[in-house]
Structure 1
């Protein structure tokens, strides 16, 4: 084939290839534009759509038990409370941070905790048991007040709690309840209705009468 003919053929093929590449480039550019437009619409839709609701955080709860006060109150019901069932009831749907039972114990350190009237019901039930020896006074009376220990422990933990459950009917705790509430923490009082001071019931955000839940927490 003459050289001129070969050059003409190659020139024609090159022109054809160039047109093909130009067409492909145009198609690619169009595809890129379509993808960019699609991405833009998706971003707009995401921005306009309501944010997916997050599951609410579980309320952090601390349970504090005035063991002697509540056990004596429950004695009047002629039924024993299973304190593991009670703890499960009080923390249902919530996050337990701490459960503590405050119990007076015999002043003889040789007496085992398992035989202590007010400590034994809380052993191995999910509670930390804090004890205070009974004091014998010259007039023959015996007393072991755990109010201060309870109050100090609760106040020290407030920054880690959303709810304080106070298991006692002692009206002396009214001021403690008010201080807790002033820090933005909810207070629930649990006791036997007939053995609970009215001022404590009124101060609480919620009062739970053990008589009303006895079927769920009875031993």
Structure 2
């Protein structure tokens, strides 16, 4: 009887040890799974190694008339290479969309491709959104694409990590602040004194476009 009790006790001790070993192994496996999950979350959040899936998503939006007219008034009117601009602001990033907002004449005798606010962006990687110039009775002409630009940026906001706005128009300050409130980094690009001070101050970064001006 004593031997039976001793044998039973030994068996119980062995079973307990086996159970502890099994629990220890499961705990280690769970810890490994947690580590793998944390690494996966970091990669999805963009904190892992650089790659297509982790590159910041960027949208580029150009108020073409504003910048091109500013270019006429500064630095001798040297043309801007918009392809070079796009290369610079998208370096290390994944481009979602690049759009130039360009007012155009409604004169049927003037081709769209040759118009001054369209031609600089042709073949440079930009989608070109056009809007007819408004002519008033006093002979003045107005071209305002602010609403179209702002609506597009807000519509795309959930697909962007960075928004690059090429304009000097201080009216865009509120748009910049709305995007920032959604966690989007906003970079403003422009030419010198043509960019409103309030717009520069609101941006996370200001980019001077003189680097892309062609030499005459």
TM bracket (short chain)? 0.7 to 0.9
User: TM-score, normalization: structure 1?
Assistant: 0.74
- Any idea what the Cα deviations from partners look like across 1:40-82, whole Å, max 9, x if unmatched? 6xx67x8399766732510000000000111112221222111
In 1, the alpha carbon distance for the partners of 2:187 and 2:127 equals 19
Q: Is the 8 A contact 1:169 1:195 kept in 2?
A: yes
1:55 and 2:54 are equivalent in the alignment? no
In 2, the alpha carbon distance for the partners of 1:48 and 1:149 equals 48
Task: Give the CA deviation at 1:197.
Answer: 0.3
In 2, the alpha carbon distance for the partners of 1:49 and 1:155 equals 37
Larger radius of gyration: 1
Q: Structure 2: state its 5+ residue gaps.
A: 1-20
1:128 and 2:142 are equivalent in the alignment? no
Inter-CA distance 48–128: structure 2 relative to 1 (3 Å threshold): closer
Q: Is the 8 A contact 1:107 1:135 kept in 2?
A: no
Q: Cα RMSD over matched residues?
A: 2.6
In 1, the alpha carbon distance for the partners of 2:173 and 2:108 equals 33
Inter-CA distance 109–185: structure 2 relative to 1 (3 Å threshold): farther
Partner residue in 2 for 1:11:
none
Aligned residues between the structures: 180
User: TM-score, normalization: structure 2?
Assistant: 0.75
Write out the 4+ residue segments of structure 1 that deviate beyond 2 Å after TM superposition: 46-54
Inter-CA distance 138–61: structure 2 relative to 1 (3 Å threshold): same
1:74 and 2:68 are equivalent in the alignment? no
In 2, the alpha carbon distance for the partners of 1:210 and 1:120 equals 18
In 2, the alpha carbon distance for the partners of 1:162 and 1:92 equals 14
In 2, the alpha carbon distance for the partners of 1:61 and 1:201 equals 19
In 2, the alpha carbon distance for the partners of 1:48 and 1:127 equals 44
Q: Structure 1: state its 5+ residue gaps.
A: 1-35
